[in-house]
Amino acid sequence: MFPVRNGQTTGSLTLSPPGPGSFSCPSGQTRFLQSVKYENTIVTDQGGASLLATPEPISATLHIPV
């Protein structure tokens, strides 16, 4: 539960990107995660109240070997 002040609250979520599925790289190449985008992310508190996370969509540009 996040404390509410003046009708607003601040918190953070840790989300993991989906796995690569069946994608693989040829020998000698490395697979990288370049970007991730989440849409329609719903946050639900312990009391059952839900709201759409902002910003919408949530996205990031990365360069991470996976």
Q: Residue 25: which residues within 8 A CB-CB, separation 6 or more?
A: 31
Q: What is the pTM (predicted TM-score) of this model?
A: 0.59
State how far the Cα of 48 lies from the Cα of 63, in Å rounded to an integer: 36
46 pLDDT tier (thresholds 50, 70, 90): confident
Tell me 51's DSSP state.
Answer: E
Span between the terminal Cα atoms of the chain, in Å: 33
Which pLDDT score, from 0 to 100, does residue 29 have?
A: 95
Residue 10 confidence (pLDDT) above 80: no
The mean of the pLDDT values for the chain is 85
Cα distance between residue 20 and residue 66, in whole Å: 8
**What distance in Å separates the CA atoms of residue 59 and residue 46, rounded to the nearest whole number?**
25
Per-residue pLDDT, averaged over 19-47, amounts to 89
The reported pLDDT for the residue numbered 9 is 75
